[in-house]
Amino acid sequence: MNGAAAAPLAPDPTTVVLRNADGYDVLLGYLGDGSFSTKAIPGTYDLFMGDRVRLRTGVVVATSGTTVLDIDVPSVVVKGAFTFNGATVTATNDHGRLWLRNAWGGEVPLGFTYAASYSTHVAPGTYDLFYSGITLSGVAPQNDGILLRPGLALTGATVGRRQGHPDRQRRDRHGQGR
């Protein structure tokens, strides 16, 4: 990941597959395997991590010989603080959860607001940010599955996001509004 070899037997059940234009998959292995070897029908495929994160298009499996396909899964760190109207709420009886969703419907959980912060790796791309109230006692909004921020482009090495009330303007580390 990001140029470093995956540790063998790492506890990561995420699949890596080749998918042809008809939607048929060839399982290459799992991210935690570190390497893979398989047979595939010659043709052109797209490379996917999991079911919905497209890593590469136009992968050609040759009709003869061995097709070598080194896979470097790109990753960006997304981290930040969870707040409601600017205040951190760590009560487990008043919280919600936030997650990212890409255009193909793949989701990345960011966590629960009572944790006060989050940090996770995601494949670069454009995501929508969603929120659902879980346990409510006065501060956490009651919305279920509400879109907070559409079209977040996550492309840098580390992307900080301050989450919370959807009407609150976000600012980057330089104090600029987003």
**Domains of the chain: residue spans and CATH:** 1-73 (no CATH), 76-160 (2.60.40.1120)
Q: Please tell me the predicted confidence (pLDDT) of residue 113.
A: 93
Residue 178 has pLDDT above 80, yes or no: no
List, for residues 85-139, the tens digit of each pLDDT value.
888 888 888 899 999 998 878 888 999 999 999 998 888 889 999 999 998 788 8
| Type and span of the H or E element at 29 | strand 25-30
| Residues 11-15, mean pLDDT to the nearest whole number | 64
List, for residues 159-176, the tens digit of each pLDDT value.
444 343 333 333 333 333
DSSP 3-state percent helix, strand, coil across the chain (nearest 5): 5, 45, 50
At 145, give phi and psi (nearest 5°): 70, 35
Q: Please tell me the predicted confidence (pLDDT) of residue 175.
A: 37
Q: Please tell me the predicted confidence (pLDDT) of residue 32.
A: 75
List, for residues 26-75, the tens digit of each pLDDT value.
999 887 787 889 999 999 999 988 777 788 999 999 999 999 998 887 88
Q: Please tell me the predicted confidence (pLDDT) of residue 102.
A: 87
The structure's pTM equals 0.65
DSSP labels, 80-126: EEB-BTTB----TTSEEEEEEEETTS-EEEEEEGGG-EEEEEE-SEE
Q: Are 162 and 87 in contact (CB under 8 A)?
A: no
Return the bridge partners of 128, or none.
Answer: 101
Which residue type, as a one-letter code, is found at position 178? R
| Cα–Cα nearest to 122, from 104, 105, 103, 109 | 109
Q: Please tell me the predicted confidence (pLDDT) of residue 30.
A: 85
Residue 78 has pLDDT above 50, yes or no: yes
| Euclidean distance between CA atoms 135 and 169, whole angstroms | 25
| Cα–Cα nearest to 156, from 46, 5, 2 | 2
Q: Please tell me the predicted confidence (pLDDT) of residue 2.
A: 56
| Euclidean distance between CA atoms 109 and 97, whole angstroms | 8
| Euclidean distance between CA atoms 112 and 71, whole angstroms | 32
